[in-house]
Amino acid sequence: MKTIDEAKIQALVAQLEAEKNLPDRDMAELIETPLLELTNRLLAEAADRVRRKHYQDEVYVRGLIEFTNYCKNNCYYCGIRAGNACVERYRLTQEDILDCCRTGYELGFRTFVLQGGEDPYYTDERICELVAAIREGYPDCAITLSIGEKPRASYAAYFAAGANRYLLRHETADELHYAKLHPASMSLANRKRCLWDLKELGYQVGAGFMVGSPYQTTANLIEDLRFLQELEPDMIGIGPFIHHEATPFRDMADGSLELSLRMLSILRLCFPYALLPSTTALGTIAPNGRELGLKAGGNVLMPNLSPVRVRQSYQLYANKICTGEEAAECRSCLELRVRAAGYRIVTSRGDVKR
């Protein structure tokens, strides 16, 4: 016989699946409940039903190219922050990047994600030249940029050059919390301005946040959900906070697998159409983390196409996996693991299905 608490959780999950939303008080109960195993199982089952309704068993793969680890910013959680004097810095040349694309295309990737720190070396002219070269060589592929906060005119230029998508995690939708994670030179208002600019310019837009970041509260997580409901992004990337020893947060506790999976399922139920990555961070905190992420509602994986020689230098957090099945070269290994989880990798651009 079910306890009242179990019945309440079942009812909340059913309501969220049906209505795609819950009042703040009920959402908080779902996030905070100590019934971890039951709640995550019920949420994952509901999330899987919803993702299969919209995306069947398809998993989209994106070829990730981490092309620079220089960054002008000093975000307190990030291993490639400007203040980290220990990191070995690198920049890939345009030829390097095009080589990555060639390899990725041969492996069946039809989306390339160019990710890097906010590196002043990569001017608008250089970014546009790079995007145009990829667009010319791979007209059937999507080009995603993840290079931080830029003026609206820069985003417009990248779009005109051939970029389709842009990933920019908002990290937290609460101004006070944002100020605890970033230096005073950065602002949540500007981060949000960037996301709205990108959306208005016609990009497929990705936002997202860390789960279990320092000083985060349940109220912060709910505020993240409310902001995302307002923005209605095409992609939502979340993952557990993982500390890095060369940051001010070196001694902070990492986010949990359980809460990360729970929030991923909640996002799938709130945003049935969304593209939700099962992130490398999940695979870092648990050997089967990405498979669990897929079962919790995720439908995107981002294997690494970057040259092997630089992968260890793009350490946003400690112990980031960067060999084996995480690497794009082991595509067949990844396919086997995805199939074992009950899904299948498809060769497709993997556009959002609104």
Which pLDDT does position 2 carry in this prediction?
52
Ranges under pLDDT 70 in the chain: 1-4, 311, 313-329
Q: Give the pLDDT of residue 209.
A: 98
Give the per-residue pLDDT at 318. Answer: 58
Contact 164, 144 (CB under 8 A): yes
Give me 184's structure tokens: 């005073």
pLDDT in the model for residue 327? 56
Cα 134 to Cα 157: distance, rounded to the nearest angstrom: 15
Whose structure tokens read 């208005």?
A: 200
The answer to whether 205 and 231 are in contact (CB under 8 A) is yes
**What is residue 179's DSSP assignment?**
H
pTM of the shown model: 0.94
Place of tokens 């989306």: 111
What CA–CA distance (Å, rounded) separates 200 from 152?
10
Q: What is the pLDDT of residue 328?
A: 57
Residue type, 76: Y
Degrees (nearest 5) of the Cα angle 280, 282, 285? 110
Cα angle at 60 between 261 and 191, to 5 degrees?
Answer: 65
Three-state secondary-structure class, residue 272: coil
**Residues in CB range of 142: below 8 A, 6 or more apart:** 110, 111, 112, 164, 165, 204, 349, 350, 351
- H or E segment and range at residue 63: strand 63-68
Sheet (strand 204-211) strand order:
63-68, 111-116, 142-146, 165-167, 204-211, 235-240
End-to-end CA distance of the chain: 40
Cβ density class 8-45: b for 16+ within 10 Å, e for less: bbeebbebbbeeeebeeeebbbbbebeeeebbbebbbe
